[in-house]
Amino acid sequence: MLEPLSYDFFLRGLIAATLVGGLCGLIGVYIVLRRMSYIGHGLSHAVFGGAVVSYVMSINFFVGASVWGFLSALLITLTTRKRTIGADAAIGIITTASFAVGIALVSRYRTFTRDFDAALFGNIMGVSSGDLIAISAVTLGAGGIFFIGYKLFLFTTFEPDVAKFYGVPTAWVDTTFSLVLAGAIVVSMQILGVTLIAAAIVIPPIVTRLITNSFRKMVLLSTSIGAFCGMSGVYISYFIDVSSGATIVLFSAALFILAITYSNLKSYAKKRRPQISS
Amino acid sequence: MALFEIENLHVRFDAKDGPIYAVNGVDLSIEENTIIAMVGESGSGKTTLLRAILGAVDLYNGGVFVDGVSISDRRANVGYVPQLEAIDWNFPVTVEEAVLMGSTMDRPLFPWFRRADRELAHEIMDRLGIISVSKRHIRELSGGQQQRVFLARALVGSPKVLLLDEPTAGVDIKTRDDVMHLLHDLNHQGVTILMTTHEINAVAAHLPSVICINGKVVAEGPPSEVFTTETLAVTYGAEMPVIHYQGLSLVAESPHLYGRNGSDTRTAHVHASDGLNNA
């Protein structure tokens, strides 16, 4: 059982997946409650465009992709606040346009030597020490920001308009959120790949929402479930010889099925309980 | 002493066919410790006026002064209670968490609420009769309790003024009566209250003052004097019969022929007659 832990590459992948799982679970709470579930999926595509641009312009991948992702996230948030355009439409337009920039550049400059497969499908076993440092820094930074700004993020997520009336600097909160989101997508992309990030962001908070009605508990549980899914997914993938990203998502989906079954059984039992009439 | 002064206020929004004035030259003076409602048709500028007092809209012309200070210079200490219909009832917050949001800006970059914040929140929840449901999710409450949660949140900031956007919208008649009595109690404790509402008869029955709005102030004063067919015609752009009953001016709807039993000869059956007889 402990055999895979003797490999350095596996250990690095396990730590990275645990951190990324927790990070996605944490950010996912705010994303799901803002009804922007597809922003993870969309932004990962947008960041792919930024990754190609940074490669063409010989800029560091993390810097280029983060700036690109931040601008896309900010644009989506600002467009959504205008209310004339829904979050789903804003995500659809901005992120696919950004993804298209990447595709256009790849097709224009056919002399690419860099392989973008890792960005598209993730590569947990190829995590370097540098990647691990970047993931740890973003996870710690995001955790610190959500911890310190807990009250501000809660009010802004619950009622953005009313929060403003109470003096909450909602524009700053939104900008900070976009920044953290972009950083999280960039570091997660290397692990899970563009195509699987959405599930890692959405499933843990949805599972948690089914079992708690408290925001504080939802934040703590979603982060823990995300980290647990990341760790378990990588561990299981070693033994069943299946892609780690896919195993993490399938493990999360299995938890979701368990949670929804539990929730339905609970409601059923509540309905069947005899009513005491006075 | 006037707590609010609104002087020649204009708020306009750009539209395809040119600017639209949501508020078009409002002058108002609201005394301290009053309780007053604004009535008017949808789009008459009631909510925009509330938002102007909160400093949440750009003023095209004129000014809003609270305690003699322009709201563009200093944010007023005003509590705001939104429409219940605007709340996301699936959001995972307990009653206590929702009430504590009112203290968010006391120490905004401190992750948890102080003991003093919690004690104040508990005291207010106790005062409003919702302390027993403080750990429940906000959706698991009755309409009256839900209104009290957001009133409590506004009160934890110890505001001198409470602004309420349609506090009786979408609630049953009993809850509406409870909410009005609760607002009266708060007013007696020294809180100035300004609200918007569509419940004209509730205003006539419960409040000493009313303001009729239609882009500008049409009339203001006691409901018994303000609610006349002429004033309501200017406010709503429609003929509305006014009935005088026990000193109240109540507004009726223009009856439809069917409503006058023009062709319906059915008789009513009161199913709960035992209960009625026992009452």
Go through the domains of chain B in sequence order and give each one's CATH number: 2-77+161-278 (3.40.50.300), 87-159 (no CATH)
118-177 in chain B: CB under 8 A from chain A: 136-137, 157
Q: Is residue A139 part of a domain?
A: yes
Q: What angle do CA A182, A90, A66 make, to 5 degrees?
A: 15
Mean pLDDT of B147-163: 90
Give the CATH number of the domain where residue A11 resides.
1.10.3470.10
User: CB pairs below 8 Å between A and B: how many?
Assistant: 77
Is the model's pLDDT at B238 over the cut of 90? no
Cα–Cα distance measured from residue B81 to residue A39, given in angstroms and rounded to the nearest whole number? 31
Amino acid, res. B189: Q
Q: Is residue A86 part of a domain?
A: yes
What backbone torsions phi and psi does residue B61 show, to the nearest 5 degrees? -155, 155
170-209 in chain A: CB under 8 A from chain B: 209
Asked if the C-beta of B108 comes within 8 angstroms of chain A's C-beta atoms, the answer is yes
Q: Which residue of A has its CA nearest to B139?
A: A213
What backbone torsions phi and psi does residue A249 show, to the nearest 5 degrees? -65, -40
Amino acid, res. B69: V
Domain that holds residue A131: 3-265
Q: Are strands B161-165 and B192-196 parallel, antiparallel or unpaired?
A: parallel
**A chain contacts of residue B99, beta-carbon cutoff 8 Å:** none
Q: What is the pLDDT of residue B76?
A: 76
Say which of B94, B104, B137 has its CB closest to residue A151. B104
Asked if the C-beta of A33 comes within 8 angstroms of chain B's C-beta atoms, the answer is yes
Q: Is residue A272 part of a domain?
A: no
pLDDT band at A275 (very low <50, low <70, confident <90, very high): low
pLDDT band at B279 (very low <50, low <70, confident <90, very high): very low
Q: Are strands B209-213 and B192-196 parallel, antiparallel or unpaired?
A: unpaired
Numbers of helices and strands, H then E, in chain A:
12, 0
pLDDT band at B182 (very low <50, low <70, confident <90, very high): confident
Say which of B80, B92, B105 has its CB closest to residue A209. B92
Tally of domains within chain A: 1
Tokens of B57: 């809209």
Q: What is the pLDDT of residue A257?
A: 94
Whether B87 sits inside 8 A of A166 (CB atoms) is: no
Measured in angstroms, the CA of B180 and the nearest CA of chain A are apart by 22
Mean pLDDT of A53-79: 82
Measured in angstroms, the CA of B91 and the nearest CA of chain A are apart by 7
| CA atoms in the 13 A half-sphere facing the CB of A126 | 14
User: Tens digits of per-residue pLDDT, B65-96?
Assistant: 888 888 888 777 889 999 888 899 999 999 99
Q: Is residue A278 part of a domain?
A: no
Q: Is residue A200 part of a domain?
A: yes
* % chain A with pLDDT above 90: 36
Q: Which residue of A has its CA nearest to B56?
A: A165
Q: What is the pLDDT of residue A278?
A: 44
Say which of B75, B80, B105 has its CB closest to residue A162. B80
Closest CA to A202 of A15, A44, A10: A44
Choose the mutation target among A148, A155, A220 for the interface with B, i.e. most B CBs under 10 Å: A155
Q: What is the DSSP letter of B94?
A: B
Mean pLDDT is lowest, of A274-278, B85-89, B96-100, B230-234, for A274-278
Asked if the C-beta of B112 comes within 8 angstroms of chain A's C-beta atoms, the answer is yes
Cα–Cα distance measured from residue B121 to residue B156, given in angstroms and rounded to the nearest whole number? 6
**B chain contacts of residue A159, beta-carbon cutoff 8 Å:** 82, 86-88
Q: Is residue A273 part of a domain?
A: no
Whether B93 sits inside 8 A of A158 (CB atoms) is: yes
Measured in angstroms, the CA of B14 and the nearest CA of chain A are apart by 14
Whether A168 sits inside 8 A of B105 (CB atoms) is: yes
Say which of B82, B92, B105 has its CB closest to residue A215. B92
Whether B91 sits inside 8 A of A212 (CB atoms) is: no
What backbone torsions phi and psi does residue A232 show, to the nearest 5 degrees? -65, -40
Asked if the C-beta of A158 comes within 8 angstroms of chain B's C-beta atoms, the answer is yes
Q: What is the pLDDT of residue B261?
A: 55
Say which of B82, B91, B137 has its CB closest to residue A162. B82
